[in-house]
Amino acid sequence: MTRFPSGLDRIRHSFAAKLLLALAGTVGLLLLVTVATIRVQTHRQVAVALRRSLQQSRRVFAQQERDVREGLASDVNRWVQSNRIYAALDDALMNGSVDTLVLATDYEITLALRPPALTLHAYTDASGNPVGSALGPRILPRPDAGVPAPLVRWLLASDTGTATFGYHLVEHRLFAVYTTLVANPFGTVLGTMTLGTAVTDSMAREAGQAIGAEVCFVADGGCVAATSAARKGLDSAMVAMAGVRQARRVDWRGRRFLLRADRVSAGAGMRDVWRVVAFPLDGVLGPFESIQRAALLAGLGALGLAVILAIVLSRGFARPVRALVAATERVAAGDYEVRVEAASRDELGTLAGAFNEMTEGLMLKERYRGVLDKVVSRDIADELLKGEILLGGETRRVSTLFADIRGFTAMTEGMEPQRVIALLNEFMERASDAVEAEGGVVDKFVGDELMAVFGAPMSRGSDADRAVRAALGIRRAMEAVNRDRRARGEPPMGVGIGINCGDAVAGNMGSPGRLNYTVLGESVNIASRLCDQAGPGQILVVEPFLAQLETAVDAEPLGPRSFKGISAPLQVYTIRSLRETPAVDDRAETVSAPGGADGSASSSPNPSPSAGATVAGAVLAAVLALGGAVPAHAQNLPTFEELGIGWTSPDGSLQVTPSGRIEVEGFVPGDQYRGLIDATDAFANLRASLFVDVFAGQRVFGSVELRADRGEAPADRPLRGRIEQAYLRVTPLPSANLSIQAGKFVSPFGGWPQRHASPAQEAFIRPPLPYDYRTVVSTTAITAGPAGFQTWKNRPEIFRHLGAPPVWAAPYQVGAMLTGGWKALSARAAVMNSAPSSEPGEWNSIGAGEHGPSYVAHAEVKVIPELRLGVSYDRGSYLQDQTTLNPLPPGEGVDHYKQVLWGFEGTFARGPVEARGELLLDTWDVPNLADYPRDVSFYLESKVKLTAGLFAAARYSGIRFDKVDNGAGGRERWDYPVDRLQLAAGYRLGRTTELRAEYMLNSTDAPPAGSDDLFAVRWSWSF
């Protein structure tokens, strides 16, 4: 019995040091958490203060601009309605002199109490040609100097507008200008008049005092109007902010400011006018910095007390700890009879009792270990119990499989041991399941290598075939594992496999006290050597092994190779797949002809198939026929991974993995096709994509896709290249399901965009109807009112091509996204540069433009393993920055008109059947309409796997439109309802190639009448 000693030695001091460090670390951690909390709260308060200040500043500036615009409009409208200005302008046009015109206007300026030197007036004729410009009585040298040309052009081209407002730069001074038509009492337009007032420092000071900040109006590369502080040195930083969308923090003369720039709402006028506001931060940050200093001092004091307390407490803890250390050393040496005395009833006494119980358990486990270590497999144990295995070994014909992770050392270098074990367990579990599913026995695990035996200790027949199926099962399992790893931003695992069949000695090897059932022999050595030479995803065999197979396989010769310990080279093959699909003749028999063999009507009692079934059968027959006509070598094209194309750094921390896909499509449209494809003649489309994935450690993942095709909606146009997506994803905590992604990527809204590029999940060639049909809501054309909007649906030759779908195909937009999950719930939230219905030309812009960003959210829950339900939301402006046809309502920009989308989706998959559905609720805010046009769209689809590599699918989609005011006292639907039926079939020609066909039927009353069907076929190769 070991008792607690009475003396103190180095153990006590070592423990005291550890306890001291623990307490100091705890206090330090609390100190860091406190400081970090204060910092987070500080940033939060700054953000709240900035948001409130921005809202207040925008209200102040909007009111200031409204006052200026209304004052200019009041004066100029009053002057134009009198005959004085009209007669003076007419005189200037007749004799070419503007003296009388300038004097007449200056007289009106004096009566209106406007400062002449700060008041601009300019004139044009009815064609927009400049007549003259002046500042008060001073005529400017150039007649066009004071003419805001964009405002004048827009005003003269408008059918409904009589005046417009904007900004104009004259002699390095910014003027707010109001331009109106000058006409006689009979409505004949003589020209235009522009009246403007200078934006001065006093206006900036008034706004700055109202919001408590410094203000600078930036134009022509400098401050044209500013507050006093901005004029004293802060202006350089404020001018540099022009054009910068994000806020920026600066220090100036010991004061801290947060700068924010907004574009001045210049209407149709000049665009490079910015209003920069500097918000003072000292008042916001001061209180929190005081709290932070106080917390730091308090934490340092607590740390000192913790050090003193640790020294005192360590003296009382040292004795029992020393006893436990001594007893532990004896247990490590193999003495399980050691005991410690529990001298107290506190936690240390409980620990001593637990230690004694542990040593008793170790004694029992040591007794059992001698028996348990002799059994390595359940089958082997059963045979041993039956006594049917000859101890010492017997000759059996076995098939041996070796599977090894390629590049495992480089992949795990620097990785935590727990993660290495988790990685091995993931591989070993999947590989063991594949072996046991085919009746094999896992012989042993050696590092990252697995050895399996088929045919010993007992044979189940066709052992060589079982080994091949197990190898293919391991490869499929690793493909699934790698998909999950890529989704988590982790590098893929490549597994090389070697298989051989032959005579081997099978039995218990070792000593009577330690047995290991295994197989030995030359055939086993060859299988091991094949595994050593196999690349990622390869299954290597030798030529004699193929003769042992009862099932035909697709095997590619790799030439003779030499192996260590084998005298002559052996012909090596790599197995691609099993040939388990029916023969061409058998497949042809499954599609019966509509008549008898002699061409007469069939005498079958079954009713004749419907038109839809006939079309589906024809599509299916075409796919099968084309699949059978493709040469075998084209059905098994290699991938980049199989060719060894890729790069991994020596330490394994950086990995570059390329891949790609080539799709060749053929389209035969009807004469009135109404989807995003607007062609009516048959054409072909080539789509080539190159993907480059970059893995940097376990936390950073980047991806770039380069694409060449004939447009987002394919048509008979030249081939064009573009960057389809390029983004960076960071996973701060690999153990947590949380990542941050930024760049150009597919919108997170809806269910279909997330799976459209996956051949395994998307069974069709064309998208569902909500993603592939233009409504008459336009992204560029502005309606004049309800009556005009109702006419758009009956003029498809103009407005159907300008319209926007509820969701535009699969939008690859610029933005940032946060994704996360917890148990069965996953979610993502993003800010994108445009709405899902915006045109593809808007997707590539780095900024959101004048229309502003789009906010997207999506959540999905896995109810049961087979059923998933999701919901999506998107809100953003769908109008482009440049609009046509009619002006926007006064004072409103494109960012005012939003599209709000709600999406609900569901997916069910069990066995060979997959079913999906999605419902979209869409609301548009259309200019010059009091109503909000709404539409409801949906699709339901199902996919059935008929045999290995063969599937058929059907999809039904529809869009329904709400009623709005028609401008004549009634209400009618703003567009025609439309339905779509899609029938598709596909056949996997090989591991990497596929052929699919689709027939689409649209049904709608929308003009013009005619066939709007579509037949499409696609061959694809993923490499």
Over 48-114, what HEC string results?
HHHHHHHHHHHHHHHHHHHHHHHHHHHHHHHHHHCHHHHHHHHHHHHHCCCHHHHHHHHHHHHHCCC
Asked which of 179-188, 766-775, 866-875 is least confident by mean pLDDT, the reply is 179-188
Q: Provide the pLDDT for residue 31.
A: 67
Is 70 exceeded by the pLDDT of residue 715?
yes
Q: Provide the pLDDT for residue 609.
A: 37
Q: Provide the pLDDT for residue 999.
A: 96
3 to each of 86, 99, 276, 324, 326, how far by Cα in Å? Answer: 116, 117, 78, 10, 10
Asked which of 305-319, 381-395, 687-701 is least confident by mean pLDDT, the reply is 381-395
Q: Provide the pLDDT for residue 910.
A: 83
Averaged pLDDT for residues 587-614: 36
Q: Provide the pLDDT for residue 736.
A: 59
Is 90 exceeded by the pLDDT of residue 60?
no
Tens of pLDDT along 797-850?
Answer: 888 888 999 999 899 999 999 998 888 898 999 999 999 898 888 888 888 888
Q: Provide the pLDDT for residue 13.
A: 45
Q: Provide the pLDDT for residue 591.
A: 31
Residues 987 and 949: beta-carbon distance below 8 Å: yes
Distance separating alpha carbons of residues 14 and 187, to the nearest angstrom: 101
* Higher-pLDDT residue of 581, 1008: 1008
Tens of pLDDT along 102-111?
Answer: 888 888 888 8
β-strand partners of 994: 988, 1020
Is 90 exceeded by the pLDDT of residue 975?
yes
Is 60 exceeded by the pLDDT of residue 634?
no
Tens of pLDDT along 732-790?
Answer: 875 557 889 999 999 999 989 988 887 777 899 999 999 999 999 999 999 999 999 99
Is 60 exceeded by the pLDDT of residue 424?
yes
Q: Provide the pLDDT for residue 43.
A: 67
Average pLDDT, the chain: 81
**Residue 380 pLDDT level (bands cut at 50, 70, 90):** low
Q: Provide the pLDDT for residue 917.
A: 96
In the chain, pLDDT over 70 holds for what percent of residues? 81
Distance separating alpha carbons of residues 498 and 478, to the nearest angstrom: 16
Q: Which residues contact 828 (CB under 8 A, 6 or more apart)?
A: 748, 817, 818, 819, 820, 856, 857, 858, 859
**Residue 642 pLDDT level (bands cut at 50, 70, 90):** low
Q: Provide the pLDDT for residue 289.
A: 65
Q: Provide the pLDDT for residue 51.
A: 75
CA atoms within 13 A on the CB side of 40: 6
Distance separating alpha carbons of residues 243 and 516, to the nearest angstrom: 74
Sign of CA dihedral 803, 807, 812, 814: positive
At 76, give phi and psi (nearest 5°): -70, -35
Neighbours of 695 (CB within 10 A): 23
Asked which of 35-49, 471-485, 601-615, 685-699 is least confident by mean pLDDT, the reply is 601-615
Residues 920 and 938: beta-carbon distance below 8 Å: yes
Q: Provide the pLDDT for residue 383.
A: 52
Distance separating alpha carbons of residues 248 and 239, to the nearest angstrom: 12
Averaged pLDDT for residues 231-254: 82
Q: Provide the pLDDT for residue 303.
A: 67
Is 60 exceeded by the pLDDT of residue 417?
yes
**Residue 500 pLDDT level (bands cut at 50, 70, 90):** very high
Is 80 exceeded by the pLDDT of residue 307?
no
Distance separating alpha carbons of residues 574 and 541, to the nearest angstrom: 6
Is 80 exceeded by the pLDDT of residue 552?
yes
In the chain, pLDDT over 90 holds for what percent of residues? 29
Sign of CA dihedral 582, 588, 591, 592: negative
Asked which of 336-350, 688-702, 986-1000 is least confident by mean pLDDT, the reply is 336-350
Q: Which range has highest mean pLDDT (35-44, 45-54, 502-511)?
A: 502-511
378 to each of 297, 370, 383, 436, 1001, how far by Cα in Å? Answer: 65, 17, 9, 11, 58
Helix 10-81 to helix 282-332 angle (10° resolution) is 150
At 294, give phi and psi (nearest 5°): -65, -40
Is 50 exceeded by the pLDDT of residue 665?
yes
Best CA proximity match to 992, nearest among 762, 657, 759, 757: 759
Single-letter amino acid, residue 889: P
Q: Provide the pLDDT for residue 553.
A: 86
Residues 52 and 44: beta-carbon distance below 8 Å: no
Instruction: Give me the numbers of helices (H) and strands (E) for the chain, helices first please.
Output: 20, 38
Asked which of 65-74, 634-643, 888-897, 914-923 is least confident by mean pLDDT, the reply is 634-643
Averaged pLDDT for residues 869-893: 92
Distance separating alpha carbons of residues 230 and 281, to the nearest angstrom: 16
Two structure tokens written together for 7: 């003396």
Q: Provide the pLDDT for residue 10.
A: 43
Is 80 exceeded by the pLDDT of residue 923?
yes
**Residue 178 pLDDT level (bands cut at 50, 70, 90):** very high
Q: Provide the pLDDT for residue 940.
A: 97
Which long-range contacts link 382-388 to residues 24+ away (Cβ below 8 Å)? Answer: 383/457, 383/458
**Residue 84 pLDDT level (bands cut at 50, 70, 90):** confident
Environment class of 468 (CB within 10 Å of its CB; exposed 0-12, middle 13-18, buried 19+): buried
Neighbours of 697 (CB within 10 A): 17
Q: How many residues comprise the chain?
A: 1023
Distance separating alpha carbons of residues 854 and 811, to the nearest angstrom: 12
Environment class of 820 (CB within 10 Å of its CB; exposed 0-12, middle 13-18, buried 19+): middle
Tokens 């860091």 label which residue?
A: 32
* Higher-pLDDT residue of 941, 392: 941
**DSSP per residue, 520-584:** ESHHHHHHHHHHHH--TT-EEEEHHHHHT-SS-EEEEEEEEE--TT-SS-EEEEEEEEE--SPPH
**Residue 233 pLDDT level (bands cut at 50, 70, 90):** confident
β-pairing, 539-542 vs 494-511, is parallel
